[in-house]
Chain A
Amino acid sequence: MGSTNSTLSKIPNVEELVQETGFTPAHIVRLYDRFEALDKEKTGHLRPQDFGAINRLAINPIGDRIIGAFFSPGQETVDFHSFVRILAHFRPADKKRPKDPSMPEPVNSRTSKLKFAFQLYDQDKDGKISRAELLQVLRSMLEMQVTEEQLESIADRTIQEADLDTDDAISFEEFRKSLEKVNIDHKMSIRFLR
């Protein structure tokens, strides 16, 4: 446990992180180790290239979107805090959280998870997934295996199915509704082992 403590002391504002994200100090240490492993040049920040070096992201169809999600708009680097905050979205939800409307929505609640996913679709951040954005996602997921027409008809169909206010785009509420039968807690959580 000695090494954990020493690592903990290297990280600034650990208590704040713990509070905000709900990770335990042990989790944060592991994440810090990972952060350092990715940060090959030891600058204390991660740049897109560092993410790009991860093989598994490189072959992922939406890898570049995921990388983009880590960087706040306009920023070129990610510091450890932002890194942890983004990953906190994927922590399993706490069942026993009291529903306190005055407190801000915890970062790993169902809504926050869905919002995160929604933002990945909605690249221009206008609050809607337009047809073009949907097409882009479909294209990247289905790669070269389908024709343009098939893509377009799927996109049409998708929007038709989800779009309730007939504005030819999918808003966050419609997105949420179309996934109401999916157990998002399960689907969007990964295990952060101690």
Chain B
Amino acid sequence: MANYCSSSSMVDLWLTTAAAARQHVCFHLIPRLSGVVPESCLLIVVGLLVGGLIKVIGEEPPVLDSQLFFLCLLPPIILDAGYFLPIRPFTENVGTILVFAVIGTLWNAFFVGGLLYALCQIESVGLTSVDLLACLLFGSIVSAVDPVAVLAVFEKIHINELVHILVFGESLLNDAVTVVLYNLFEEFSKVGTVTVLDVFLGVVCFFVVSLGGVLVGAIYGILAAFTSRFTSHTRVIEPLFVFLYSYMAYLSSEMFHLSGIMALIACGVVMRPYVEANISHKSYTTIKYFLKMWSSVSETLIFIFLGVSTVAGPHAWNWTFVIVTVILCLVSRVLGVIGLTFIINKFRIVRLTKKDQFIVAYGGLRGAIAFSLGYLLSSNHQKRNLFLTAIITVIFFTVFVQGMTIRPLVELLAVKRKKESKPSINQEIHTEFLDHLLTGVEGVRGHYGHYHWKEKVNRFNKIYVKRWLIAGENFMEPELIAFYRKMELKQAIMLVESGQLPSALPSTVSMQNIQARATPRLSKKREEEIRRILRSNLQNNKQRMCSFSYSRHTLFDADEEDNVSQVHLRKMERRVSMMKGRMSHYLTVPADRESPRPGVRRVRFESNNQVFSADSVPTAHFEQPSTPRTPDAVSLEEEVPKRRNLKADGGGPRGTVSDSNQGELNYQRLARCLSDPGPNKVENYPFMS
């Protein structure tokens, strides 16, 4: 029991240290420094200090255990990266990324390994016992670009999307190559000889490892998507499924010696569109924040442990070997990038410029994966300590020197930075339009190009896959609508959270103010606000009425809600007809003044009968908060007295308010783009208690 406690408390202690280190060192104590020096460097320094401290005390500082690293620390980071991988730039550049990842890594490994072997042959170095295979093994370990280090450094410099996805994608996809090379060379060096057959098997092995990993990941991704289809009644554990399936994908593929990283990426990528269509808004937020949290903690721990391991680890320093290794790594990287880009540019539409190439080359950082792989080498492997020392030196060099200087260099070279952009419905519509246009032009041209295949995949997805993996009616929803809805929702939430609700009585007053100021822009914005708030309120109520899952938190159960809503409906109708008289004046005047834009003025109020077949129909029509937390909500809705009978199947008791005023005024009507309370539910809204 004591042992169990002590090991748990050790873990806890480390985690706390890590979190504290990140928080204080990086942000509070040396704020200016953290602008210059990337966090990874600072954390390594912290690790060094901690390690030194432990050594001074007389204890043996812990070394980064490879098993701990690969099983616990690495997966969250990779899952975070894979889940939030920007798909569009990735697929557009996947060819380039693969070339860099596969051929680039192979080139690096053989170049470094081969030249080091040549070096070791020189008598004066004193390393003649190192044979070719050992050198090649070392080369394969040290040549892989590390996703953790790349993420840590690139996060801050906000480089343009293309370069970012190239380096980052490469760091993710080269795992398969690294795994295969590492295992191959380790086997070979045990056996001692290599035949042509072995080489051929190695190539086959590579394909199996990478494609197998992707397949395993994709299967688990589909499973997760399928599961999420049925979780509408158990929203609370939705995030759990996402994490569990992903981790299972990782473990399964590692078990079969396939590429765990690729499995994890594939799982995240495959799962995301369907899961996000199915899960609630809260679950989405939970997933996002948990992933960020875990990956952040993992990253911190990794770097700290790197520092500690440096102090702890057995070292065998050989000046020549280490320095030559560092130089060779740099040289091979630069040569590799330049050479490959030359070939790749012949096939790309948008060529890679010299600046892009430079950043890609310079951003090839090595990190903890290399260290862990080195550590995994069996301890009776000759020269293990030498290798470890060299690996650590390379890591330190890339992370410190390259990591620190990349930002000033980016600024110096005036490399294109990432353009922050708000989601824009225009951009979405036009981009989709252009997609169709290009597909059409490719058709005219008779060319089976990029757009053709993209279109085919989309079509397949729409017709076959979505049907199975997306719950309810949502699978028919076109992406544009989903995007639009999300955007509106986000803005509504933002408005609510920023407290921009016009308050109750003063809403009439504020309308007056709007009139008085008579700036079209402002009142339009106001109207938009109103529209959004109304709509969000609307959504709110629909959610409440239809979602039975969070029954612990809602005040009423379904039946009560019905009664309450009935009562409210009638009350509202009465109040509306009262308010109508007063409100009409305020609403008309601004509208008339800006009447050249009648289309935009209208804020529509629509309800859809389909959804509420379960509930009684009348309650669906008028949105009311059962517990109006803020008087705003109620009065705002009173301002929207009018609904228009837009659907032929309307029928039902629509209340007395419906058509009488149609011709009279230009009322604000609330637009509903949601037709059913599917995903992105707003379950816990400030309106609702």
Q: Do A and B bind each other?
A: yes
Q: Which residues of A contact B (CB under 8 A)?
A: 31, 34, 37-38, 51, 54-57, 60-63, 66, 70, 87, 90, 92, 95, 117, 120-121, 131, 137-138, 141-143, 145-150, 152-162, 166, 168, 175, 178-179, 181-183, 185-193
Leading 8 A-B pairs by shortest Cβ distance:
A56-B443, A153-B671, A178-B426, A66-B440, A60-B440, A181-B421, A186-B350, A150-B673
CB contacts (< 8 Å) of A61 on chain B: these are: 436
CB contacts (< 8 Å) of A60 on chain B: these are: 436, 439-440, 443
CA distance A145 to B463 in the complex (A): 13
Contact of A157 among B351, B425, B477 (CB under 8 A): B425
Contact of A62 among B427, B440, B520, B602 (CB under 8 A): B440
CA distance A59 to B446 in the complex (A): 15
Contact of A166 among B433, B449, B597 (CB under 8 A): B597
A-B contact count (CB 8 A): 162
Known: A66-B441, A95-B351, A166-B597. A187 touches B431 (CB 8 A): yes
Give the shortest distance, in Å, between A88 (CB) and chain B (any CB). Answer: 11
CB contacts (< 8 Å) of B596 on chain A: these are: 168
CB contacts (< 8 Å) of B434 on chain A: these are: 117, 187-188
Known: A54-B443, A158-B429, A187-B438. A141 touches B480 (CB 8 A): yes
CA distance A193 to B446 in the complex (A): 12
CB contacts (< 8 Å) of A120 on chain B: these are: 433, 437
Beyond A182-B431, A187-B431: 17 further Cβ-contacts under 8 Å?
A31-B445, A51-B444, A60-B436, A66-B441, A87-B441, A149-B646, A150-B671, A153-B671, A153-B672, A156-B602, A156-B671, A168-B596, A178-B426, A185-B350, A188-B434, A190-B349, A190-B441
In contact, B444 and A141 (Cβ under 8 angstroms): no
Interchain Cβ contacts under 8 Å between A and B, 18 examples: A56-B439, A95-B351, A117-B430, A117-B437, A141-B480, A142-B480, A145-B476, A146-B478, A149-B671, A150-B481, A153-B604, A161-B424, A161-B425, A161-B426, A181-B421, A182-B427, A186-B92, A190-B349
CA distance A61 to B434 in the complex (A): 11
Interface positions of B from 405 to 451, Cβ below 8 Å from A: 419, 421, 424-427, 429-434, 436-447, 449-451
Closest to B161 in A: A183
Closest to B350 in A: A186
CB contacts (< 8 Å) of A178 on chain B: these are: 424, 426-427, 430
Known: A181-B427, A182-B431, A190-B442. A166 touches B520 (CB 8 A): yes
Q: Which of B430, B444, B671 has the most CB of A within 10 A?
A: B444
CB contacts (< 8 Å) of B431 on chain A: these are: 182, 187
B69 at the interface (CB under 8 A from A): no
Q: Which residues of B contact A (CB under 8 A)?
A: 92, 349-351, 419, 421, 424-427, 429-434, 436-447, 449-452, 476-478, 480-481, 484, 488, 520, 524, 528, 596-597, 599-600, 602, 604, 606, 646, 671-673, 675
In contact, B437 and A62 (Cβ under 8 angstroms): yes
Q: Which of B438, B441, B451, B597 has the most CB of A within 10 A?
A: B441
CA distance A51 to B194 in the complex (A): 59
Closest to A92 in B: B349
Closest to A168 in B: B597
Give the shortest distance, in Å, between A173 (CB) and chain B (any CB). Answer: 13
CB contacts (< 8 Å) of B441 on chain A: these are: 66, 87, 90, 190
CB contacts (< 8 Å) of B432 on chain A: these are: 141
CA distance A61 to B602 in the complex (A): 29
CA distance A181 to B477 in the complex (A): 26
CA distance A104 to B673 in the complex (A): 45
CB contacts (< 8 Å) of A159 on chain B: these are: 599-600
CB contacts (< 8 Å) of A166 on chain B: these are: 520, 597
In contact, A56 and B452 (Cβ under 8 angstroms): yes
CA distance A121 to B432 in the complex (A): 13
Contact of A142 among B426, B478, B524, B606 (CB under 8 A): B478
Known: A56-B439, A156-B600, A179-B427. A117 touches B606 (CB 8 A): no
